[in-house]
Structure 1
Amino acid sequence: MEKPQFVLLVSCQDRKGIVAAIAGSIAAQDCNIIHNAQFGDVYTGRFFMRVSFAGPEGLTTEKFSEAFLPVGAAYNLDWKVHDLRVKQRALVMVSKGGHCLNDLLYRTATRYLPMEVTSVVSNHKTWQRRVEHEGIPFHYMPITPENKEEQEARLLEMIDEQQVDLIILARYMQVLSDATCRKLEGRVINIHHSSLPAFKGAKPYHRAWERGVKMVGATGHYVTADLDEGPIIAQDVSMVDHADTIEDLIAQGQETESRVLTRAVKAHCEHRVMLNGARTVVFK
């Protein structure tokens, strides 16, 4: 069975003939469709499609795009083609909690996540030895009210220098400025230690315990200038009961956070996430 080399993402106003036109263009370039997923939003009339396909030797995203242009223009498509053989370059940001960072490093080392970690940035030195043990550059960037603007400018320079595709906030306990969020919109994934939009803000597990919840959750979402309001990519929960302590909730929550963040990052790196306004379409 052929292995897909490319992914084509398409969104547009729904109309007849789109799928046939896309499939015809792919076939005309001597490519074979391996998997296709599509979704029509009945509320907005938008159509979304993800096609993974294998191409002949020598095919590049540039060559494919040139031949696909007439179809894109005819149907007014928002589209992009990705080469699956090119790993996403990710910069990870972390503070003192290392559970998500450790999972990301392990999943990357075992090739479960199709990405390359270019560096790890932290406002603490807690995980420096762990990161450098993996042969990954570690950058200590402490944040104070006085140097926040300067450090964010330095961060943006690093992102450009390292040609970073994705920034992962793996329990990074600093809020990025609105300007930085807007500049990096669609490229930053955060893990939030609750099922958004419930229990936002500080100490959510304490608040959840006080309310006697029967499950704790985690949310992986894109970062926007609206704090904890970005489009959600992945969520999951862990069941708890009346006998669980706050410490039990935190332990279960951290395991859930790691699982959800990895799931969100994997979906993004495999080009399975498409924005649909404030929501997302996540293809399996």
Structure 2
Amino acid sequence: MIVDFHTHIFPSSFRNNREEIFSYEPAFSLLYGPPGAKMVGATGLIRSMDEDGVNRSVIFGFPWEDEGRFKRHNDYIIESVQLHPERLTGLCCFSVKTPDAAREAERCLNSGLAGVGELAVYDSGLTTEVISSFKDVMSVCAELDAPLLLHVNEPIGHNYAGKAPITLSQIYQFIKLYPSNRIILAHWGGGIFFYGLLKKEVKDVLKNVWFDTAASPYLYRPDIYRIASEIIGLDKILFGSDYPLLRPKRYFEEMNAAGLTNEAKEMITESNAERVLNLKSQI
């Protein structure tokens, strides 16, 4: 069993008319404006899953600013899960800055989605104001015992579309403000797991935090699997491909290059996700 924790799908109405949306949604234009930016639907994702040996994918959309767009997209996620319950698990997505964010989270979670994400703020860092804007959504997640997947990135290094001006201190403050929530930090958490080596505080602060591997082949050497597992533990790592940005096989190759045991790979690609999302009851 292989679970891909990080995939994006879009309904055909968005895939076929992306250019019409660019002027209204700057973040969408930033990520999907380049000619090579891929967009797929549920059928295309499942076809790829079959080719790459992935049994189940966690699916979500985009953090739209417009209420109509994020509701239509979340409805598509709900419908896709209902059509393929044995293959797909869904998260709901929206701009956390919208006044209806918490209501939308509650609506989607009560409609069968398993969590919230990938929430992202691309035009700023996780400022105090932005972190506070998550409050009502985090309350809904805590009440319904739903995890939240947050887009973060490393604060230094090369630039790329979607790399936000986020600092490790901001990520840390976000986690500290919502200690009772289960949080998954995308893209290896921007490297914040390294500070799990500190003797005081950090390990406890990260107790309800997991890290997905999305875009890892573009960002890190394969050694990150071994190093991260030594610092934070294998049980905290979730395989996520960021499909269709990258195919899962790229990650499997890097796990092998890192010298991971079969037991370690099983934890990263299966059992950790089953525990975070209670997938055992769905399989």
Q: TM-score, normalised by structure 1?
A: 0.30
- Greater relative contact order (Cα < 8 A, sep 6+): 2
More strand by share: 1
More helix by share: 2
